[in-house]
Amino acid sequence: MIKIGIIGGSGYTGGELIRILLQHPATEIDFVYSTTRAEKPLSSAHPDLIGQTDMTFTGDVNFNVDVVFLCLGHGNSTQFLKEHSFSSVTKIIDLSNDFRLQADANFKGNNFIYGLPELNRTQIENAQYIANPGCFATAIQLGLLPLAKATKLSSAVHINAVTGSTGAGVSPSSTSHFSWRNNNVSWYKPFTHQHLGEIKESLTSLQKDASELFFLPNRGNFTRGILATAYTHFDGSLEDAQLLYKTFYSNALFTHVSEDPLNLKQVVNTNQCHIHLHKHEDTLLITSVIDNLLKGASGQAVQNMNLLFGMEEDLGLNLKAVVF
């Protein structure tokens, strides 16, 4: 059994990791570290775990586990790894944005591989350290990578994406608590969202002259999921685009092209990404949907872990969609 450590297990991503790993047939959770909940049961933060586990949070860290997941706030993973050292064989999967960009990927002589399996599968399989992608970044990249691979990103790309309130984290803020979010929609960080950097690096790795991205993120009045739409000039037919996408994702277990329009519920509570293409005159509209906490965070982190240890990529990730 693979021994697992989780640093920062009381938030949304930590909770999702615990739920997945408790059911994973090849893993054993060794510890869940929390500075604020040490000695309290995991169910004190995640009430749905009552009856599922008797584990408690701990203030102690086993630095010899097989793999550790860092579920810390942005900037905190770097600080934690400066202060603590894991064994030379421990694999690290970081869910923050600390190591995603190439300029930040090398830390203490160790190189973090960008953990988007549909792009970097071979590198992930041979890595020890993984920088898990952001949620918006995952949805948008999966929508655009096939065009970059075919060098079709020659015109500006306009992106509009809406995310559920869990994307803002477990601690309520003025724009994430129920009273503000309910029956409400708003945009934020127009054209400057922090995920743009990792998106651009991935696209330019496939097409050096990839066109400019104009990204407008939105806060939705729902709990989880991301629906992203992007449109750009495309010379070919809809059939050409569909063939391009289906070929690119022919070996992807979790990313699929649908000929029918999409909705969030078909992917919420799964590690799936569904993509739909629509052609209007010379413009291609790409829609992608994911669960921001699973394919956009913890599910993809477990997908990466499976690849790191040479296991079946979908092991422990055959999750049921909400649907209704």
pLDDT digits (tens, 9 = 90+) for 276-297: 999 999 999 999 999 999 999 9
Q: Are 25 and 316 in contact (CB under 8 A)?
A: yes
Q: State residue 239 phi and psi, 5-degree precision.
A: -65, -40
Residue 127 confidence (pLDDT): 97
Residue 30 confidence (pLDDT): 98
Lowest mean pLDDT among 73-87, 167-181, 197-211, 270-284: 167-181
Mention every residue, 6+ apart, whose C-beta is less than 8 A from residue 221: 165, 181, 182, 183, 184, 185
Q: What angle do CA 274, 205, 278 make, to 5 degrees?
A: 30
**More confident position, 169 or 99:** 99
Residue 193 confidence (pLDDT): 87
- Read off the pLDDT of residues 232-254 as tens digits, 9 standing for 90 and up: 999 999 999 999 999 999 999 99
Assign 229 a pLDDT band (cuts: 50, 70, 90): very high
- Read off the pLDDT of residues 62-93 as tens digits, 9 standing for 90 and up: 999 999 999 998 889 999 999 999 999 999 99
Q: Give the pair of three-digit tokens for residue 144.
A: 């655009």
Share of the chain above pLDDT 90, in %: 90
**Domain formed by 135-290, architecture:** 2-Layer Sandwich (3.30)
Query: Which SS3 state, helix, strand or coil, does residue 75 take?
Result: coil
Query: Which SS3 state, helix, strand or coil, does residue 228 take?
Result: strand
- Asked whether the predicted pLDDT for residue 172 surpasses 80, the reply is no
284/173 Cα distance (integer angstroms): 37
Lowest mean pLDDT among 10-24, 87-101, 145-159, 181-195: 181-195
**More confident position, 177 or 13:** 13
236/137 Cα distance (integer angstroms): 26
Q: Are 210 and 204 in contact (CB under 8 A)?
A: yes
- Asked whether the predicted pLDDT for residue 143 surpasses 70, the reply is yes
Q: Which fold has domain 2-131+297-308?
A: Rossmann fold (3.40.50)
Assign 171 a pLDDT band (cuts: 50, 70, 90): low
- Asked whether the predicted pLDDT for residue 177 surpasses 80, the reply is no
154/173 Cα distance (integer angstroms): 39
Determine whether 206 is exposed, middle or buried from the number of CB atoms within 10 Å of its CB (0-12, 13-18, 19+). Answer: middle
Q: Are 123 and 104 in contact (CB under 8 A)?
A: no
202/239 Cα distance (integer angstroms): 25
**What does pLDDT average to over the chain?**
95
- Asked whether the predicted pLDDT for residue 179 surpasses 80, the reply is no
**Residues belonging to the active site:** 135
Lowest mean pLDDT among 49-53, 132-136, 150-154, 180-184: 180-184
- Asked whether the predicted pLDDT for residue 96 surpasses 90, the reply is yes
Region(s) of the chain under CATH 3.40.50.720: 2-131+297-308
What is the pTM assigned to this prediction? 0.95
Name the β-bridge partners of 287. Answer: 229, 276
Residue 75 confidence (pLDDT): 87
- Asked whether the predicted pLDDT for residue 51 surpasses 70, the reply is yes
Residue 73 confidence (pLDDT): 84
